Chain A
């Protein structure tokens, strides 16, 4: 987790602050939607942490060091039940397993990012990934600094929102019952966004059906791991099916 921005690197010694300013200017507009989103989600997270008995200092530490929205929401569950780090680790791994695939998608783009790479990977959350997927640095802006500032800004928004929530939770007494639904709402919205994109509808349906089936068989406490296994098998079969169909079409059309 190296965060020293001004640490000059031998290869880029001639390039001074203006270059970085350009990258910051190029990155900032792309992060504005994340600013609103993270302020709201962070706010809710900070309030929930406070209501669970964890002061703003803990919220700050979590947001600074973990920087994973759904993982942090999930961690509240572990903070409010019997201490069980192994269970916490397994659940965190499963809920964050999607990051594996963000990494795989970003292998090439992050390859030559030098000393910025560890921080870029550290901060590859859903939102940063979605910006990185859909944008490119314009002419004259170094892509690794562009990516760095997107990651850094997103990280700062998340810390800002959650700390604000922690402070507000202490200041304003109101009934927060049901506020944890914000996470369900977030995933539902992402699901709808993905559903609209056509290309992954079968996969999305597989995700829902495998999980529901697994939930019915294994119950709420142990269904996630079997669900993931079923999803992997189902997607592999889907891939084979598509390939064989493609081959049939290619063979039948001379």
Chain B
């Protein structure tokens, strides 16, 4: 443990606050509204696509192409996941194989 138990509880508290704020806010804001504003509805439809793209980039934010591995383990794993998922459409298989491949790559080939 890097943090003290009290600090850990504080982090749990912020994680709860941060998560529940985003889950409850729409229901609070639109608790009386019969129908939503078209702008919000359109955004609600489009945004999830963009957000997932953003999260992929977020996960890879510390990959550097001028590092010793040139980002190759990440690149190889991602391409494998994309191909495998297009082919088999099995979420668990894609995640399992992709993660396993990445672990093998950085623990052996790129160690």
- Residue on B with the closest CB to A62? B12
Interface size class of A (residues with CB under 8 A): 35 or more
Which residue from B33, B46, B78, B99 sits with its C-beta under 8 Å from A44?
B99
Could you say which residues of chain A place their CB within 8 Å of the CB of B2? 52-53, 79-81
Q: When the two chains form their complex, are residues A191 and B56 in contact, meaning their CB atoms are under 8 A apart? A: yes
Interface-side segment among A13-21, A103-111, A134-142, A157-165: A103-111
Give A160-216 interface residues, CB cut-off 8 Å to B.
Answer: 175-179, 181-194, 196, 199-201, 203-208, 210-212, 215
Q: How many A-B residue pairs have CB under 8 A?
A: 258
Q: When the two chains form their complex, are residues A124 and B23 in contact, meaning their CB atoms are under 8 A apart? A: yes
Q: Is B48 in contact with chain A by the CB < 8 A criterion?
A: yes
Q: When the two chains form their complex, are residues A177 and B103 in contact, meaning their CB atoms are under 8 A apart? A: yes
- Chain A residues within 8 Å of B, Cβ to Cβ: 33, 36-37, 40-41, 44, 52-54, 58, 61-62, 65-68, 70-72, 75, 78-81, 83, 85, 88-93, 95-105, 107, 110, 117, 121-122, 124, 175-179, 181-194, 196, 199-201, 203-208, 210-212, 215, 220, 223-224, 227-228, 231-232, 234-236, 238-239
Having A54-B1, A65-B12, one finds 8 other A-B pairs with CB under 8 Å, namely A104-B26, A122-B23, A176-B103, A187-B56, A203-B50, A206-B53, A211-B53, A231-B54
